[in-house]
């Protein structure tokens, strides 16, 4: 694998990390498997695209995407999921219904054409990385991935909110019993996780482009990341993203038409030994 392909894998991994970390935060703390996460990614991308085109600002597009997706997350959590709390299966299937709804709605609003979010002037063009010419924007995505990782790590390990989230992952009832309003922490996590999907949509929309089945693709990759990394583990998502990102690139280079199989292999081997993923813990 050449350096160019390695970088492609790393930047894809960074995007996956941003999307999947939101997914695993919600999964880890709220025990909600949000299958609408892929649809939120796509919606975020479309909204970010529209805002960025209208205002001409990539940053505003990002803010718009995150805010809009957090708002959709709010409706999803408070308007729908509250009716099925405590029943995992019903929650999952409900979010799946929402995913179909959102996907079709996106088709109505933006149509079936594929869009590419305009990249800001600053990030256009390429640069030399160890002698290989490489697009700046993809390096920016890599940087964002690392930034989000560090941000999340600090949030989870060095703030009171992070401590509450971690405690909630381990034993939500106990946290509640000690006088904390865990519902508020739950809601925050849900909105934050959703916003990360929106951010991912904008970032991915600028180099993978946005099209009607992009949500299913990113959801598959996110699922693979979470299955490999384990529920609710930040490090797990990081390693899972790297594995899936690199393997996907390797697969596309070696067996372009069967790339999906290449992420399937390691997932299979891993599940045989650790059904809960690398960093997953039994509850």
Partner 1 sequence: MTQPVSKTSVLAGMTGRALVIAGLVVIVAACLPMVLSSYQVGLVTEVLIFGVLAMSIDILAGFAGRTSLGHGAIFGVSTYVVVYATGQAGLSPWAGFALGVLAATAVASVFALLAVRTSGVYFLLLTLALGMIVWGVCLRWTQVTGGENGMRADVRPAALMSHSAFYWAVLAGAIVVSFAMWRFVRSPFGLTLRGIRDSESRMRSLGYNVPLHLFIGFTVSGIFAGIAGGLYAMFNNFVSPSTVALAQSVEGVLMMIAGGVGTLFGAFVGAAAIIVLENIVSSYTERWLMVLGITFVLIMIFAPEGIIGKLRAITSRKVR
Q: Which residues form the interface with partner 1 (CB under 8 A)?
A: 31, 33, 35, 80, 83-84, 87-90, 92-94, 96-105, 108, 216-217, 219-220, 223-224, 226-227, 256-261, 263-264, 267-268, 271-272, 275-276
Complex with partner 1: residue 235 or 258, whichever CB lies closer: 258
Q: How far is the CB of 19 from partner 1 (least distance, A)?
A: 15
Give per-residue burial for 236-265: e unless 16+ CB within 10 Å, then b: bbbbbbbbbbbbbbbbbeeeeeebeebbee
Q: How far apart are CA 48 and CA 42, in angstroms?
A: 10
Complex with partner 1: residue 148 or 223, whichever CB lies closer: 223
The tokens 């999340």 sit on which residue? 152
Kindly state the helix (H) or strand (E) to which residue 128 belongs, with its residue range.
strand 126-129
Q: How far is the CB of 248 from partner 1 (least distance, A)?
A: 11
Complex with partner 1: residue 199 or 226, whichever CB lies closer: 226
Q: How far is the CB of 130 from partner 1 (least distance, A)?
A: 31
Q: How far is the CB of 198 from partner 1 (least distance, A)?
A: 19
SS3 labels along 13-40: HHHHHHHHHHHHHHHHHHCCCCCCHHHH
Bridge partners of 127, per DSSP, are: 134
Nearest residue to 43 (alpha-carbon basis) of 91, 105, 123, 86: 105
Complex with partner 1: residue 174 or 258, whichever CB lies closer: 258
Complex with partner 1: residue 51 or 223, whichever CB lies closer: 223
Q: How far is the CB of 253 from partner 1 (least distance, A)?
A: 14
Q: How far apart are CA 4 and CA 258, in angstroms?
A: 21
Q: How far is the CB of 90 from partner 1 (least distance, A)?
A: 5
Helices 136-158, 3-30: axis angle to 10 degrees equals 30
- In this structure, what are the phi and psi dihedrals at residue 111, rounded to the nearest 5 degrees? 75, 180
Dihedral sign computed on CA atoms, order 29, 271, 235, 254 = negative
Bridge partners of 124, per DSSP, are: none
Complex with partner 1: residue 227 or 237, whichever CB lies closer: 227
Q: How far is the CB of 98 from partner 1 (least distance, A)?
A: 6
Q: How far is the CB of 140 from partner 1 (least distance, A)?
A: 27
Complex with partner 1: residue 202 or 242, whichever CB lies closer: 242
Instruction: Mention every residue, 6+ apart, whose C-beta is less than 8 A from residue 156.
Output: 162, 165, 166, 234
Complex with partner 1: residue 136 or 278, whichever CB lies closer: 278
- In this structure, what are the phi and psi dihedrals at residue 206, rounded to the nearest 5 degrees? -90, -20
């Amino acid at each position: 694998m050449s350096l160019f392909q390695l970088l492609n894998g790393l930047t894809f991994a960074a995007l996956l990390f941003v999307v999947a970390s939101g997914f695993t935060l919600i999964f880890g703390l709220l025990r909600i498997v949000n299958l609408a996460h892929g649809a939120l990614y796509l919606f975020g991308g479309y909204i970010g695209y529209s805002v960025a085109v209208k205002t001409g600002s990539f940053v505003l597009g990002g803010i718009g995407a995150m805010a809009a997706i957090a708002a959709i997350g709010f409706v999803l959590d408070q308007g729908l999921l509250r009716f099925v709390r405590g029943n995992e299966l019903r929650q999952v299937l409900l979010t799946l219904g929402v995913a179909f709804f959102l996907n079709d709605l996106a088709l109505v609003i933006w149509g079936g054409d594929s869009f590419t979010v305009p990249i800001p002037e600053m990030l256009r063009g390429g640069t030399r990385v160890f002698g290989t010419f490489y697009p700046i924007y993809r390096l920016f995505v890599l940087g964002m991935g690392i930034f989000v990782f560090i941000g999340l790590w600090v949030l989870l390990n060095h703030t009171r909110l992070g401590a509450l989230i971690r405690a909630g992952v381990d034993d939500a009832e106990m946290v509640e019993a000690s006088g904390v309003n865990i519902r508020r922490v739950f809601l925050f996590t849900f909105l934050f996780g959703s916003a990360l999907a929106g951010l991912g949509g904008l970032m991915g929309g600028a180099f993978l482009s946005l099209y009607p089945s992009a949500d299913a693709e990113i959801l598959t990759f996110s699922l693979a990341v979470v299955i490999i990394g384990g529920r609710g583990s930040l490090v797990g998502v990081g390693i899972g993203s790297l594995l899936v990102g690199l393997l996907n690139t390797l697969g596309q280079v070696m067996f372009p038409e069967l790339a999906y199989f290449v992420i399937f292999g390691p997932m299979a081997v891993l599940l045989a030994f650790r059904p809960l993923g690398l960093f997953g813990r039994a509850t």
